[in-house]
């Protein structure tokens, strides 16, 4: 029994000396962690945008199935997803970008009518 214990101890010593340790620990930078969280948030934002009913109707009007659009977004690179998420944030809510012309036209017409009656 004593020789078996000695053999086992020698075998463990040799294996610890000869076999390299492969475990590595490293720190990730704060910028990298924030970028990873931002990338995930942008991906979630694009997926949420695609799941809206009005967006699905617009896709169907353009001849694209909503599931096909989601598959295409799934195959995009992270830079493309970040670009689309940035465009979602800059689009006006509920109107097109030329809606302020209508408001300006109404104000001009109201001023002309007011001036004519005064």
3 occurs within a structural domain: no
Assign 96 to helix, strand or coil: coil
Residue 61 lies in a domain: yes
Name the CA radius of gyration of the chain, rounded.
Answer: 32
**What does the pLDDT profile of the chain (118 residues) look like in tens digits?**
788 899 999 988 888 888 877 777 788 888 888 888 999 999 899 888 888 888 888 888 888 888 888 888 888 888 888 888 888 877 665 555 556 677 777 877 888 887 787 7
Residue with tokens 């990298």: 32
| Entry pTM | 0.52
Q: With CA atoms as reference, report the closest residue to 52 among 15, 12, 93, 109.
A: 93
Q: What is the pLDDT of residue 97?
A: 52
* Domain boundaries, position 62: 29-93
- pLDDT at residue number 117: 78
Domain count, the chain: 1
Residue 114: inside a domain, yes or no? no
């Amino acid at each position: 029994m004593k020789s078996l214990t000695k053999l086992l101890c020698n075998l463990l010593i040799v294996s610890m000396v000869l076999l390299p340790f492969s475990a590595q620990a490293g720190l990730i930078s704060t910028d990298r962690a924030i970028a990873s969280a931002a990338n995930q948030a942008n991906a979630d934002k694009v997926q949420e945008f695609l799941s809206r009913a009005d967006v699905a109707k617009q896709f169907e009007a353009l001849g694209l199935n909503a599931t096909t659009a989601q598959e295409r977004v799934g195959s995009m690179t992270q830079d493309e997803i970040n670009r689309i998420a940035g465009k979602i944030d800059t689009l006006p809510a509920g109107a097109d970008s030329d809606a302020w012309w209508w408001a300006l036209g109404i104000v001009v017409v109201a001023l002309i009518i007011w001036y004519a009656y005064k």
